Amino acid sequence: MTESRPTPADAPERYHRAVVAHIMVDDAPAAIDFYRRAFGAREDFRLGAPDGRVLHAEVVIGGSVLMLGDASVPEAEASAWRSPAALGGGTTVALHVFTPDVDALVLRAEAEGAEVLQPPKDMFHGDRTAILKDPFGHLWVFLTHLEDVSEEEVRRRLEAAL
């Protein structure tokens, strides 16, 4: 099964260019495999260490590049890089990715071992949104854009929802 890749037109204009996330995990080869199976990722680049760990890799998820590597390689250990597990299981970042069909992605990701923290639902900001936690401790927000909503309307809808 081939997942269609979103184009910039699938996301609001302000999100066509974004900061490239670079995450660290405790088993980058396993994470890359999970992201491929669960999120439809495509691996574009990998620099491997002699022992099989990953110094640096790049995958594409939903048209966006994600950089990642093993937190246990000497280069990472010598700096401030840590995996969520090394931080006690928490993270300060959530990775947002627009996808053409958030419902299908969540079903596939859950079957592969992602924890669904918020099932897909239509949100006041105009996107169908789900929140997942991957087996490596990272939080993901997947969105399918439904409608363009003005800032004024977003505020009105949020107030009505509270």
- Who has greater pLDDT, 8 or 140? 140
For residues 83 and 56, give the distance between their C-alpha atoms in angstroms, rounded to a whole number: 14
Mean pLDDT over the full length of the chain: 88
- Structure tokens given for 119: 């099932």
If pLDDT is split at 50, 70 and 90, which confidence band does 161 have?
confident
Residue 86: the pLDDT is: 84
For residues 86 and 80, give the distance between their C-alpha atoms in angstroms, rounded to a whole number: 11
Q: What are phi and psi of 94, to 5 degrees?
A: -120, 135
Residue 30: the pLDDT is: 97
Sheet with 21-25, edge to edge strand ranges: 21-25, 64-70, 54-61, 42-48
* 39-54: average pLDDT: 93
- H-run or E-run covering 17: none
Residue 8: the pLDDT is: 45
Residue 83: the pLDDT is: 85
Residue 20: the pLDDT is: 85
Tally of CA atoms within 13 A in the half-sphere of 25 that contains its CB:
25
* 43-65: average pLDDT: 91
